[in-house]
A and B are shown apart, each in its own frame.
Chain A
Amino acid sequence: MKQLMLGNEAVARGLYEAGCSFVSSYPGTPSTEITETVAKFKEVYAEWAPNEKVAMESAFGASLNGKRSFCAMKHVGLNVAADPLFTIAYTGVNAGFIIAVADDAGMHSSQNEQDSRHYAVSAKLPMLEPSDSAEALAFTKLAYELSEKFDTAVMIKMCTRVSHSQSIVETSDRVEAAPIPYERKAQKFIMTPANAIKRHPIVEERTKALTEWAETAEINRVEGGKSAEYGIITSSTCYQYVKEALGDDFPVLKLGMINPLPVKKIRDFAASVKQVIVVEELDPVIENHCKTIGVDVKGKELFGLLGEISQNSVRKAFGYPMTAGVKLDESIPVRPPVMCAGCPHRGLFYVLKKNQLNVIGDIGCYTLGSAAPLGAMDSTICMGASVSGLHGFNKAGGAEFAKKTVAVIGDSTFMHSGVTGLINIAYNESASTVIILDNSITGMTGHQQNPTTGFNLKGDPCTKIDLETLCKAVGIKRVRVVDPYNLAECNQAVKEELAAEEPSVIISRRPCALLKYVKHPGPIEGDASKCVGCKSCMKIGCPAISMKKGKVSIDATLCTGCGVCSQLCNFGALGK
């Protein structure tokens, strides 16, 4: 049956059809829906792991024990899982094992735009790169074949435009993969130096064999063109832009496997055209390969290293007329993402701002606390970096800084990699104050469960990790819980914990306002006649509050009645 599917849903469908039976992932835009979708199939065991490293190792364990397995992550998640990745490349697999990584060129929802293809090259793992949903499904099934044929984990590289574009796929039935019986193979799977030394040449031989495969593989195909003036080498979503902009004007070598890349096929293609142009997003991976094998190509000098490519960037590079519309001659205010009305993070950030604290930030919805008017954040690097960064910041700055600096980290991010930083704070004794923003969900990626929520990926009740107990167990004596809707309570807790000359944790606890089970009191009843226009309520950056003709106005369609603004109004214009 023909249907529209996101690239991510198509990967999930491919997993299902190929008989995958174990999936472990950590959510991350734009990869999340692969795991959410595959979890709906009862034949597939699927779980959220606390982080990508755990996910990859768990999926590897399932492969070791004979089941086709899978893990998915965003590009920066692959950094977390890089350690197992490089050694799994040596051991190979038992049953087929696929690792999907979704890049985010253009940084729609990420802190960098690293090019994950480098990982496949440096870990010496095959990587397939689909260009639409039909390929996402087909390549996923092919990846299992390759994985078992060449005894290797296989990477599938997605990107925002493939992951989050729906296109037509045709589905077929699931074919169960017979489990491969487990037997101990010490020299293959125990990577002591003595064994690993023997595995490395096998890896190099495997790459040669995969290169041979790449020379004739159907997924590396040449499409004819009207003129041999140019020949284009491309892959992934860039292939679509090339075809959109240039049609069949020039021959195209469309690469479905990005590592290892073929040699003869590229040389033959280059010999058949006057000038080869490589169209690829971010780094010159294909381009550098071509240059290494002595094929003269142009690529990054035409397209640059930054952000996404589009059909117009292809048109421009080939001297074709670009499409254009008419632009309003007006300065149009930007509309950045904001903390939602009723967001439990808002009150807490107001308190941090009011106390003029340094805030070492982390990855999640609360990173929005860096934006005006709250503007209470000093750094954001990666998952978990708030807690460990705070420790170093305070050790370097001494008591003077420890008394005016906090880390903020969400519940899911804390479980991901914050707890190790907290152990460091306890172990190496910095008088640091960590604030865990516990909104009982993984928010930014669209409400995924995590070890602190008490529910698993399939939605079933499960063991709930207790944050207070965990923090105390790693050696933090001062652990307290506050309600972020209560500004006075938050203010007092922050002041007291910063003053304490020992490590402390404040858990700011209230579920995400968007969770379906959260009941809101309803919009506050503002009284504009009492408003003196002092704009105190405007300091919290609530999208439901605005000033109209100098008086406060509440957008009742947005306001949840959280009451944070009411606590800032001295004139009773915003309810009690």
Chain B
Amino acid sequence: MKTEKLMIVGVGGQGTLLASKIVGKLLLGKGFDVKVSEVHGMSQRGGSVVTYVSWGEKVYAPIVDKGEADYILAFEMLEAARYAEFLKPGGKLIANTQQTNPMPVITGAMEYPEDIEGKLKTLGIDLDAIDALKTAEAAGSAKATNLVLLGRLAKYFPYPEEDWIECIKTGVPEKFVDMNIKAFKMGKEL
């Protein structure tokens, strides 16, 4: 089989790393060769962050290049816009409609682009935009936004919910497992 590639993009601190680890674990359990690439350090301080997950019979590159991603899971709308060109033609972009202003917007040096959702659709991108923050709050905590988005991603993956839930259980602190699973399910069924 051909290698498949997922990018998870967002803002440092949103929990993209945890999401990529859960996906990596799931795919490992399916018998694939898997690579998950992260960036640590300076970029985590509220900066734009990206992790790559690649899987298949044999995976070589740990990173995803422009036009290669089968899926992009964007935790924030501006980041969806920034990384959209990494999506391969026919790929799926799942985006959280949440907007977090970057410093140039906060200081007034630049403007947050309007209607990113509409513009991405105009480009012919297969976009599934959801309000993951609101859903996470309904599930119990804004901090579970990453699990809502992971649930949404699971909708497009050919694996049963139980398998995801097993991976979530081992990936999040015990006292938050139930809430995270709830958030995951709500994201999937939204």
- A residues adjacent to B (C-beta < 8 A): 2-4, 6, 29-30, 32-33, 108-109, 132, 160-161, 164-168, 237, 240-241, 243-244, 310-312, 322-328, 330-340, 365, 368, 371-373, 444-446, 538, 541, 543, 545-547, 557
Query: Across the interface, do B78 and A338 meet the contact criterion of CB distance under 8 Å?
Result: no
- Beyond A109-B41, A165-B37, A372-B107, whether A241 also contacts B125 by CB under 8 A is no
Asked if A109 and B123 make an inter-chain contact with CB atoms under 8 angstroms apart, the answer reads no
| Interface CB pairs A-B, < 8 A, 18 | A4-B25, A109-B41, A165-B38, A166-B24, A166-B34, A166-B38, A167-B36, A243-B60, A311-B61, A324-B85, A328-B81, A333-B110, A333-B111, A335-B48, A335-B82, A337-B47, A340-B45, A543-B106
Question: Closest Cβ of chain B: how far from A100's Cβ, in Å?
Answer: 16
Which residues does chain B contribute within 8 Å of A164, judged by CB atoms?
37-40
| Residues of the B chain whose Cβ atoms lie less than 8 Å from the Cβ of A30 | 40-41
Which of A325, A331, A339, A371 is close to B67, meaning CB atoms less than 8 Å apart? A325
* Chain B CB within 10 A, most for which of A165, A244, A325, A327: A325
Query: Which of A6, A244, A372 gathers the greatest number of chain B CB atoms within 10 Å?
Result: A244
- Enumerate chain B residues within 8 angstroms of A161, measured Cβ to Cβ: 37, 62-63
How distant is the Cα of A373 from the Cα of B102 in the complex, in angstroms? 12
- In the complex, which residues of chain B have a beta carbon less than 8 angstroms from the beta carbon of A541? 103, 106-107
CB contacts (< 8 Å) of A160 on chain B: these are 39
Residues of A within 8 A of B62 (CB): 132, 161, 165, 167, 237, 240
Q: Which residue of A lies closest to B68 (CB)?
A: A323
Say yes or no for B189: interface residue by CB 8 A criterion.
no
Interchain CB contact under 8 A, A337 and B28: no
Given A167-B33, A328-B120, 7 more contacts at CB 8 Å? A108-B42, A165-B35, A165-B36, A166-B34, A240-B61, A311-B65, A322-B66
Q: Which of B45, B89, B104 has the most CB of A within 10 A?
A: B45
- State whether B60 touches A241 (Cβ < 8 A): yes
CB-CB nearest 10 A-B residue pairs: A109-B41, A29-B41, A323-B67, A337-B47, A165-B62, A335-B102, A244-B61, A337-B45, A335-B48, A109-B42
Give the Cβ gap from B190 to chain A, nearest Cβ, in Å: 21
A335, B41: Cβ atoms closer than 8 Å: no
Asked if B124 is at the interface (CB within 8 A of a chain A CB), the reply is yes
Contacts of A543 in B (CB 8 A): 46, 101, 103, 106
Complex CA–CA separation, A338 to B104 (angstroms)? 11
- Residues of B with Cβ closer than 8 Å to A? 11-13, 21, 24-25, 28, 33-48, 59-63, 65-69, 78-79, 81-82, 84-89, 91, 101-113, 116, 119-120, 123-125, 142
CA distance A546 to B28 in the complex (A): 42
Q: Of all chain B residues, which has the CB nearest A365?
A: B45
Asked if A444 and B34 make an inter-chain contact with CB atoms under 8 angstroms apart, the answer reads no
Which residues of A are found within 8 Å of B78, using beta-carbon distances? 332-333, 335
Residues of B within 8 A of A330 (CB): 81, 113, 116, 119
Verify A372–B103 contact, CB threshold 8 A.
Answer: yes
Contact A323–B103 (Cβ < 8 Å): no
The residue in chain A whose Cβ has the minimal distance to the Cβ of B93 is A325
Instruction: Please name the residue on chain A nearest to B42 by beta carbon.
Output: A109
| B24 adjacent to A327 (CB under 8 Å) | no
Q: Name A371's contact: one of B48, B103, B120, B124 (CB within 8 Å).
A: B103
Given the contacts A29-B42, A338-B46, A338-B47, A545 and B106 also touching, CB distance less than 8 Å: yes
B residues less than 8 Å from A323 (CB atoms): 65-68, 88
The answer on a CB contact under 8 Å between A325 and B44 is no
Known: A29-B40, A108-B39. A325 touches B12 (CB 8 A): no
Q: Is the CB of B11 within 8 A of A335?
A: yes
Contact at A326–B68, with CB atoms within 8 Å? no
Query: Which of A330, A335, A373 has the largest number of chain B CB atoms within 10 A?
Result: A335
| A-chain residues with CB within 8 Å of residue B109 when the two chains form the complex | 333, 372
Kindly state the separation between the CA atoms of A340 and B46 in the bound complex, as whole angstroms: 7
Q: Which residues of B contact A547 (CB under 8 A)?
A: 108
Chain B's nearest CB lies how many Å from the CB of A448?
12
Cβ–Cβ contact A336 & B106, under 8 A: no
Residues of the A chain whose Cβ atoms lie less than 8 Å from the Cβ of B108: 538, 547
Residues of A within 8 A of B112 (CB): 333
- From B28, B105, B119, A168 is in contact (CB under 8 Å) with B28
The distance in angstroms between the C-alpha atoms of A330 and B108, with both chains bound, is: 17
Closest to B87 in A: A325
Complex CA–CA separation, A168 to B30 (angstroms): 13
Within the assembled complex, what's the spacing in Å between the Cα atoms of A337 and B48? 7
Question: Are A444 and B106 CB-contacts (below 8 A) given A312-B66, A325-B89?
Answer: no
Q: Which residue of B lies closest to A74 (CB)?
A: B41
Residues of A within 8 A of B110 (CB): 331, 333
Are B36 and A166 interface neighbours, CB within 8 A? yes
Question: Quick one: which of A4, A243, A340 contacts B28, CB cutoff 8 A?
Answer: A4
Contacts of B101 in A (CB 8 A): 543, 546
Compute how far the CA of A333 lies from the CA of B36 in the bound complex, rounded to whole angstroms.
27
A residues within 8 A CB of B88? Answer: 323, 325
Contacting residues, chain A, for B35 (C-beta < 8 A): 132, 165-167
Among candidates A132, A167, A337, A546, residue contacting B44 with C-beta atoms closer than 8 Å = A337
The docked-state distance in angstroms from the alpha carbon of A328 to that of B108 is: 22
> Is B105 within 8 A of A333, CB to CB?
yes
B133 smallest CB distance to A (angstroms): 9
Q: Are B42 and A538 in contact (CB under 8 A)?
A: no
> How many angstroms from the CA of A311 to the CA of B43 in the assembled complex?
23
Give complex CA distance A244, B105 in Å: 38
Kindly identify which residue among A167, A168, A332, A338 contacts B103, using a CB–CB cutoff of 8 Å. Answer: A338
**Does A538 lie within 8 Å of B34, measured CB to CB?**
no
User: Cα distance A439–B59 when bound, in Å?
Assistant: 42
Q: How far is the CA of A323 from the CA of B46 in the complex (A)?
A: 29
| Residue in A108, A165, A312, A340 with the greatest tally of chain B CB atoms within 10 Å | A165
A372: chain B residues at CB < 8 Å are: 103-104, 107, 109
Alpha-carbon gap, A243 to B112, bound state (A): 39
Please state if A326 and B123 are interface contacts (CB–CB under 8 Å).
yes
The reply to whether B41 and A445 contact each other, CB–CB distance below 8 Å, is yes
* A residues less than 8 Å from B13 (CB atoms): 340
CB of B65 within 8 A of CB of A557, answer no
A373 to B105, CA, bound (A): 11
In Å, the complex CA distance between A365 and B12 comes to 14
Tell me the bound Cα distance from A336 to B68 in angstroms: 25
In the assembled complex, how far is the CB of residue B57 from the closest CB belonging to chain A, in whole angstroms?
12
CA distance A311 to B59 in the complex (A): 12
* B105, closest chain A residue (CB): A333
